[in-house]
Amino acid sequence: MDAQTGEDSRHDNFRNTCMAYGDFNRQVFLEEILRFISSAITSKAELTAIRKAVLKRTKRLEKPGQRGRPRAWDNEEWIQKAITSAFRRHVLGWSWPKVTESIGMQPTKPNIRTVQRRELTFAELIFEAIPPVGCWDIGKFGEKLRETALDSKSTQMWISSKTGLPFDKQPEDCKKIVFALAPLGSKPANQSLMREIDQLARKKKK
């Protein structure tokens, strides 16, 4: 898909559009993906390769007990609770039972799992806020951030605007949270993306 064959520049146009809109206009991003995979320039072999690549990456990132999660970050109260829990867990180093108890829940296994699921949803939000170019180690997209990924003030402010993390007041603490959670958000973000693509595809067929 990324090969420069010189036969058709529309592959390059598709990639450039995704890079331009993927961060801040998800609807355009998804529409371009749908248009690309349904176009004449996308062969059956390419479609098969895309599907296999997505499945392979999802399985590689999957961990026992993880499931698809609904988006909740439009709720400001939810965001603040997620930030507080992440701070206690990844900056203060609290245990899961202590974090769970601190938000007024009994530290039972079901309640701890609820808090952990919320963290994974927040991790998805953080992952989607990371600029796709220049922040991940080469060959480690979605798996390992570069040590210098969050040094830029513009990157910090961009992530802050998307996640609510207070980089302006506590930059080092926010870095710890992002480094800990961004890789965890890759799998649920991939799952959410595929669900949205499927929904768009079904609408196109109606």
Output the pTM of the full model.
0.63
* 141 secondary structure, DSSP code: T
Nearest to 126 by CA among 93, 161, 99, 98: 161
Read off the pLDDT band of 76 (50, 70, 90). Answer: confident
Render pLDDT for 143-196 as a digit per residue (tens, 0 to 9). Answer: 899 999 999 999 999 999 889 999 999 999 999 999 999 999 988 877 777 777
Pick the closest to residue 178 from 104, 124, 141 (CA basis): 124
DSSP 137: P
d(CA 7, CA 9): 7
Looking at this protein, which amino acid is placed at residue 199? Q
Length of the chain: 206
* pLDDT given for residue 53 in this prediction: 58
The pLDDT, as a whole number, for residue 3 is 41
Q: Which residues of 89-126 are buried (b: 16+ CB within 10 A; e: fewer)?
A: bbbeebebbebbbbeeeeeeeebbeebbebbbbbbbbb
pLDDT in tens, 90-140: 999 999 999 999 989 999 999 999 999 999 999 999 998 998 788 998 888
